[in-house]
Amino acid sequence: MSFINQSISKVGILRGIQVLVVDNDRDSQYLYATLLKGCGANVVTATSVEEAIDVLDWLLPNILICETRFFGESIGTLTTKLSEMRARGGSPIPTIAITTWISDTLAQILDLGFEGYLLKPIDLDQLVSMIRHLVVADRKSPPPYSLRLRIKSKKRQKAPAVIEPQSDR
């Protein structure tokens, strides 16, 4: 029996994938971040729904991994934010729900807009495989970018073109 996770040997398998991990358990957050960084992903973490929404104002992750239960916050607020981003013409962001609650049914998770579901304690290889399935396999564009930032554009006025008069010498 091997205690070494197979994903650790897959260095670079998630190279260029931007992941947002939202979990109020810092140990779980650290575990996911360490594993995913070891596989080449760029990882940003948030400890609350509110913090995740703030992060989404400046970051467009390729995938979101999220605990489903937060004290005093509703996960629905986060899924609403993702829906609003999509409605404004943004690319859909695949989401994976992670929970310790067996009472959460798959149907409830999917109704919230999550594409995947894992029960804690999760199988780390399964997490990496799910990310690859939802992001890497569907990626059609050439080279993956290491970080996709969301930049709010301000309309810039172009400077008028200056035309030098030509002399008739």
Q: What is the structure's pLDDT at 159?
A: 42
115: pLDDT confidence band, cut at 50, 70 and 90?
confident
Q: Is the pLDDT of residue 102 over 80?
A: no
State the average pLDDT over residues 17-40: 95
The structure's pTM equals 0.74
Q: Which residues pair with 117 in a beta bridge?
A: 97
Q: What is the structure's pLDDT at 3?
A: 40
State the average pLDDT over residues 115-119: 87
Q: What is the structure's pLDDT at 68?
A: 87
145: pLDDT confidence band, cut at 50, 70 and 90?
very low
> 112 or 30: which carries more pLDDT confidence?
30
pLDDT tens column, 41-94: 999 999 999 999 999 999 999 999 999 888 888 888 999 899 898 888 888 899
Q: Which residues pair with 42 in a beta bridge?
A: 18
The burial of 136, by beta-carbon neighbours within 10 Å (0-12 exposed, 13-18 middle, 19 or more buried), is given as middle
CATH of domain 13-136: 3.40.50.2300
- Please give the Cα distance from 95 to 64 (Å, whole number): 5
Q: In sequence order, what are the residues at sequence separation of 6 or more whose Cβ sits closer than 8 angstroms to the Cβ of residue 98?
A: 23, 28, 65, 66, 67, 68, 117, 118, 119, 120, 122
Residue ranges per structural domain of the chain:
13-136
- Please give the Cα distance from 109 to 117 (Å, whole number): 7
32: pLDDT confidence band, cut at 50, 70 and 90?
very high
Which range, of 87-101, 102-116, 124-138, averages the lowest pLDDT?
Answer: 102-116
